[in-house]
Amino acid sequence: MSEFKLVSPKFVPPLDENYRPAVLANRQFRKDVKESGSAQPLVLGIERNNGEISRYETFVFTNTHPSSKANLPYAERLIKFLLWQRGGWKVYVGGSKEIGDHIQNVYSKTGQRHFDFDFMGETVHEKKFEVVICNASDVPKAKENPKALGRHLNGCRIGFDLGASDRKVSAVINGKAVFSEEVIWEPRKHADPEYHYKEIMASLQSAAAKMPRVDAIGGSSAGVFVDNRPMVASLFRGVAKERFNEVKQLFLRIREEMNVPMEVINDGDVTALAGAMSLEDNSVLGVALGSSEAVGYVDPCGKITGWLSELAFAPVDYNPQAPADEWSGDIGLGASYHSQQCVFRLAPRAGIEIPNQVTDAEKLKFVQNKLEAGDTAARKIWESMSYFMGYSIAHYADFYNLKHVLILGRCTSGIGGNIILEGANKVLKEEFPDLASRIHIQLPDEKSRRVGQSIAAASLPEFKEGN
């Protein structure tokens, strides 16, 4: 990124002095392009399942401008973000052949982003990943298909949430939970999809027994879902590749056997939906800081977009020495800044030695206990995370229409949540006053907790009374 200007933040994270927020670099680039008087349009199209297409329009330097080399990292990081925000197997690069050639080379079987090439193509969308170079005017028009999922509280419903260490289920009658159950399980250790089927069915039947009938079922789970099919999910990590098609058909099988409307979507979207229901408003981004970063979005019309919103793997830091993601190998991605992975990354810099022979949950609790006890070193971790959050929210605002950002998850427990909230608001107020005036950042209030994930999940499917 030597040609691409990186900008130091006004609020430097105490434990990450080399942090260079993506939002500041992108804004500086666009400012320089505008002031150069030598700009050309760059139109990006991202095609995903069912022919849906997202468009993103911006400007870059003309190819003859001395700063034109900066176009390449700018466009590459932009496309990386869009792929993990929207999802897609085909990228249209309109307006610059040089940028198109670069993206074709980077996002290829042998290119630097070969992980994204394989993941977005064959794994998620079951197609070969493709980069199309064209004129800006030839990029297809946007074709979004958001769904009006959720907020349906009539009848007898089951809501469930599948986690890596426990699963939760609720029986919901006319919007009120009459039964809830939490069961410990270890789905990642089991290779037979029948185990997952039987365990999930046991929870559904447990809830069904508490109601006179079942009208609809809604569920949430970590992972990438396409049309109720888990294309990638850590819950099924133990299942061999040759049997993963059974996993993809799992919820379709359950829906057929239960013979009621059923919707299963990413847990981030259900979190955002629960927030929107409690706030009684839309344009809500939910960001959960847990074992990773889970994100969901409810659009201005109150609909679920169907985008991936897997921002754990979207770039937020352009520092060339930023930490690398273990899974994809890319650097500066969201999970390293907005999850317990960040706590574990920064603890050694704060002089905190975390015990090794314990679970990740116990490791996080160990550092949180120090924070609660007033340890100044531990506080620096959460202060750093608060600045990361502020700059990332400003970055996300370039890609989402936002009114509310709900931050939650185990990293926000105790005073840590208030530290993150305070620091993020400070960043917006001082660095991005235009955003601060229209985006409200908050932790879940009591009403949000009452609505809960299970009731929001139960509300996903629509059914007509009497059918």
- Domains, the chain, in order of start with CATH, read 37-138 (no CATH), 146-467 (3.30.420.40)
The DSSP secondary structure of 421-443, one letter per residue, reads HHHHHHHHHHH-HHHHTT-EEE-
| Beta-bridge partners for 18 | none
Are the C-beta atoms of 431 and 393 separated by less than 8 Å? no
Phi-psi region for residue 363, left (φ > 0), alpha (ψ -120 to 50) or beta? alpha
Mean pLDDT of 100-113: 98
The pLDDT value given to residue 461: 94
Nearest-angstrom CA–CA distance, 424 and 264? 32
Nearest-angstrom CA–CA distance, 208 and 216? 10
**Which residue, chain included where needed, has tokens 């509300």?**
459
What are the tens digits of pLDDT across the range 307-358?
999 999 999 999 999 999 988 999 999 999 999 999 999 999 999 999 998 8
Name which of 448, 447, 443 is nearest 409 in CA terms. 443
What are the tens digits of pLDDT across the range 38-80?
999 999 999 998 899 999 999 999 999 999 999 999 999 999 9
Are the C-beta atoms of 144 and 305 separated by less than 8 Å? yes
- On average, the pLDDT of the chain sits at 94
The pLDDT value given to residue 144: 96
CA dihedral 307, 439, 268, 75 (to 10 degrees): 40
And the tokens for 68?
A: 């034109």
Report the percentage of the chain scoring pLDDT > 90.
81
Across 150-159, 268-277, 286-295, 458-467, least confident range: 458-467
Are the C-beta atoms of 58 and 30 separated by less than 8 Å? yes
For residue 36, give the 3-state DSSP assignment. helix
Burial 329-340 (b: 16+ CB within 10 A, else e): ebbbbbbbbbbb
How many CA atoms does the CB half-sphere of 212 hold within 13 Å? 3
CA dihedral 269, 275, 278, 282 (to 10 degrees): -80
Across 91-105, 118-132, 136-150, 220-234, least confident range: 220-234
Name which of 22, 17, 30 is nearest 1 in CA terms. 22
Nearest-angstrom CA–CA distance, 329 and 189? 24
Please say if the pLDDT value at position 467 is more than 70: no
**Chain mean position to CA 19:** 21
Give burial (CB, 10 Å; 0-12/13-18/19+) of 140. middle
Name which of 19, 104, 108 is nearest 336 in CA terms. 19
pLDDT class of 463 with cuts at 50, 70, 90: confident
The pLDDT value given to residue 447: 52
What are the tens digits of pLDDT across the range 211-260?
999 999 999 988 888 889 999 888 898 999 899 999 999 999 999 999 99
Look up the pTM and report it: 0.91
Are the C-beta atoms of 335 and 295 separated by less than 8 Å? no
